[in-house]
Amino acid sequence: MQRRTFLRTATVAALATIPVGTALTTSASAADIPVSSLTALQNAINSAKPGDRIVVADGTYTVPSGGALTISGKHGTSSAPITIVSQSRGGAVLKGERGFVLSNSSFITLSGFAFRQSTTLELPADCSGIRLTRNDFQFADTGAAYWLFVRADDTKVDRNHFHNKTTTGIFLVIDGPDSTDAMAQNVHVFRNHFSDHTFTGTNGGEPIRLGVSGRALSSAHAVVEYNLFERCNGDPEAISVKSSDNTVRYNTVRASRGGIVLRHGNRSTVESNHVLDGEEGIRLYGNDHKVVNNYVSGLSGRALVIGSGTTRDHHEGETETERRGNDACDRALIAHNSLIGNTKTLEGETRTYEPQNVVVADNLLVGDTGSLVAMGATTGFTWQSNLLWGAASNGNIPAGGFTRADPRLTQGTDGVKRLTSASPAIGAATLAGTPVTDDVDGDPRGSVRDIGADEYATVPALRHPLTASDVGPNAP
């Protein structure tokens, strides 16, 4: 088999990067407006024009009680935003009850601040094109439950650090207008570091909540990618998706209680994520999802759960109780995932409505405890070309839906176990029409695919589990 030494073109190499535009710096320019007081900052905001760059001197700025830094009726452009930036990253510290309060504004960038306020920073629905980049979020821990609340379309949240919360609440909420059940559109969340939420309650401490039960049927078209979650122990859900038509890809969840959960909504994609050495993996409810190319390893809980429901489908006109319930997982595609060395591997549930018409194909399941497959009732499932191995029993996977053989894995310096040249997984995938063009590492799949998240290759991986140097205010 000679397709294994890949020549990576510029197009393939680009898979390892994100098109985020020119990175913001604090170097001087003709448009710079230096300020060193709250009054001067507010005056500069009031007179700002597209392309202006207000540079806030390093120091601690405490906004008086009842006051705010108001950004109202200010409009940059996509090519010339109004930028408000700290002189050095983290150098301008904003304290007090409130910091920036936005309304009726577009193409505003806030960069490099250390946010230490006590109430929620909200991007309202009458704004658009707002960017928050290279900031440090550590709000007063006894303050508002939500730190950043996004209702504005086309928001970018990138290269920030959200950290150190010990109370109930959420680092980042993506929602929609108050008066409707719509979602903010096209929010892009990337290269952020979410860490150290130690709230010990059973619910309400997610790093990211993307939607809410009442907006479950609304499409958001959000992309959450290349984010790192570490020690996020405030909730079983690190990324909680409660809306439709979203993409969650290339993220790393490490040493965290929470996992990636499609809790409400339909037609979302969970692709090429690493979930490592924590508790919960990937769990899904709703219809027509794609869960492909994910690497889940070392969990003390469940690696992958195909959810049952208290209702068959969420629908318009259902009661609030029905909407808050679980929607049985129907017509999902679960393919090319590697679930390796977890306490529980592929699990079902026992609610009233069983999942239906799910395709489970070309996955690698390796474990030494319990059963590799422990599904509850199902209807119309397709099980195809899965590879199982380890001391764990096969469980209730149907005969004909799997092969048992040693996948012959080797562990890389990044901790990921990949195929070796003698693996029976090579070339053994059989599901036609699988929507995967590369693997979890960024290696191209080709026309003959391997089982699991890894496509055997002899060149270094383009993507690895993320570390702190890949994300946050100082990320590339």
Contact status, residue 280 vs residue 427, Cβ threshold 8 Å: no
Of 284, 217, 225, 223, nearest to 244 (Cα)? 217
β partners of residue 347: 305, 374
Question: Pairing relation of β-strands 409-411 and 344-347?
Answer: unpaired
Q: What is the pLDDT of residues 249-287, one digit of tens each?
A: 999 999 999 999 999 999 999 999 999 999 999 999 999
| Distance of alpha carbon 398 from alpha carbon 381, whole angstroms | 10
Phi/psi of residue 131, each to 5°?
-125, 130
| Distance of alpha carbon 32 from alpha carbon 228, whole angstroms | 33
pLDDT at 29: 60
pLDDT at 3: 40
Pick out the chain residues at pLDDT < 50: 1-26
β partners of residue 170: 146
Show Cβ contacts of residue 331 under 8 Å, excluding neighbours closer than 6 positions: 287, 288, 356, 357, 358
pLDDT at 317: 85
Q: What is the pTM of this model?
A: 0.94
Burial 53-85 (b: 16+ CB within 10 A, else e): bbbbbeeebebeeeebbbbeebbbeeeebbbbb
Contact status, residue 354 vs residue 376, Cβ threshold 8 Å: yes
β partners of residue 242: 211, 264
Contact status, residue 115 vs residue 88, Cβ threshold 8 Å: no
CA quadruple 104, 185, 157, 258: dihedral positive or negative?
positive
By the 10 Å C-beta count (0-12 exposed, 13-18 middle, 19+ buried), 16 is classed as middle
| Distance of alpha carbon 315 from alpha carbon 460, whole angstroms | 46
Domains within the chain, CATH numbers bracketed: 120-470 (2.160.20.10)
Cα 308–312–317 angle (5° rounding)? 135
| Distance of alpha carbon 63 from alpha carbon 414, whole angstroms | 44
Q: What is the pLDDT of residues 286-315, one digit of tens each?
A: 999 999 999 999 999 999 999 999 999 898
Burial 278-305 (b: 16+ CB within 10 A, else e): bbbbbbbbbbebbbbbbbbbbbebbbbb
Token readout for 211 is: 């939607």
Other C-beta atoms closer than 10 Å to the C-beta of 391 total 9
Token readout for 475 is: 């990320």
Of 133, 136, 144, nearest to 173 (Cα)? 144
3-state secondary structure of 470: helix
| Distance of alpha carbon 44 from alpha carbon 59, whole angstroms | 18
